[in-house]
Structure 1
Amino acid sequence: MTEFTTTSRGDRVAYDLLGSGPAVVFVTGAGPDRADDPVTAETAQRAADAGLTTVTFDRLGRGESPAEGRLDLDRELAAVGAMIDVAGGSAVLVGHSSGCSLSLKAATAGLPVTGLALWEAPLGDPAATTQAWADEIERLLDAGDHENAMRHYMKDMPPEWLAEMEASPAWPMIARTVATYRADAHSLAWAQRALEDGTLDITVPVLAMYGTKTFPEMPVAAASIVAAVPKGTEKEMPGAMHSWEPEPMAAKLAEFTRACAG
């Protein structure tokens, strides 16, 4: 059943809390809320059944977490912090896609993160290129040009993904959801710069994962993250098309989270 909490920035966030034991908080990337993310929901239930406390939540401006105004990185980090609180005060963050860069940023921002389990972080371009991409998204969002902001956000993704969205009668509504991607763009630009500069100050264990059937840049990104942290492990896992398989993922999360909890 959906529960709600309020962040330190005054935003109301919807979440599901399951199980008991060492905690994990799932941090999704651009796009999904809980209602249209069955893979994460199943994984959270399986991980709870395996002895973890699991938290899934609707990021700001999505699902049952409506939010107005500029949804920047500070507000998203406050939401992650609130989810760690409801999980029991400390947690492993499970980042998916741009949720990986949000999770990395949370760990460097002083939040009580015990470990990072990262699935297919979309990193690898030069930092200047990523920053220019993020700056253009910022400009388009500030101008209220949601359709072109969405097109720009997705410019390096498989073109059929965007084509399917644009072909939908709901395209104008879909495009408006890009307003919730501002923090993703900010965190990706920050993470790429930190990797390039050698300033990714992460001391907790990091598990960087990618699927058995994935885009060629994903294993490269995982390797770059592992090389940048003192306690990093790279792992190929069952999965395809930027998503994991719930059963093996839940088992790996249970193993990793228990290790992080000592």
Structure 2
Amino acid sequence: MKHCASALALAGGLLVAGQSMAGDLLQWHDESLTYLNGVDFKVDPSKQQTLTFEHASGWSFGDLFIFVDGIKYNTEATNGAGDGHTFYGEISPRLSFGKISGSDLAFGPIKDVLLSATYEFGEDDVDAYLLGPAIDLNIPGFDYFQINTYLRETDGKRDGDGVWQITPVWSYTVPLGNSDLVIDGFMDWVVDNDKSYHANLHFNPQIKYDLAKALGFGKKFYVGVEYDYWSDKYGIEDSRAFHTDQSAISALAKVHF
């Protein structure tokens, strides 16, 4: 977990430094911690616990999303480092052409046009760099709905170099009693192959209830479930000899601060 702690410290340091210099550049920000306890994972050990730090922020020139997962395998099986733990994270800045130009780019259901980037990092040489166009949509009922399109580059150190990925991201809030039920998540759809990386689809929604609001507390505290479907996980084609189609579910607790 030392690598995970270092990654969290780096992300936190970057955020503090950025916010101290931001002034009017920073429009809003939100931080959270999520605990997951799940079963039925494929490729990796079947039982896992995950602690996730997330940061989301809006800026005068775009937005930023960062997350870091610290993962513990609930089994004697280990990761490549042999310690039963691993970490993974992404840093995803987006530049808004509407904000930068000062123009209203809304057209039909399109709210804004953006340039989206993502840096993926973790253990075992999983680094990848993603860049491409994105749009924000105005869909009735949704808190937000994004469609990001990326070309993936890995410098040849990881499979999946030079393939295209489409990533919708969404959130939908349903009033429930004196609180809210939130359904949000993402989908990563790698639409083509390279020589050793199979096209795959990763669908990862969360359904969670704001328990803090129901009890009259201040900060948001959610309880719920996360569903993790991943066909041909990690770009490994599913087969009779090695099953890589994943359908996992996790209990969830999430606090915003």
TM-score, shorter chain, exceeding 0.5: no
TM-score by length of 1: 0.30
Higher RCO structure (Cα 8 Å, ≥6 apart): 1
* Structure (1 or 2) with the larger CA radius of gyration: 2
**Larger helix share, 1 or 2:** 1
* Length-normalised TM-score, structure 2: 0.30
More strand by share: 2
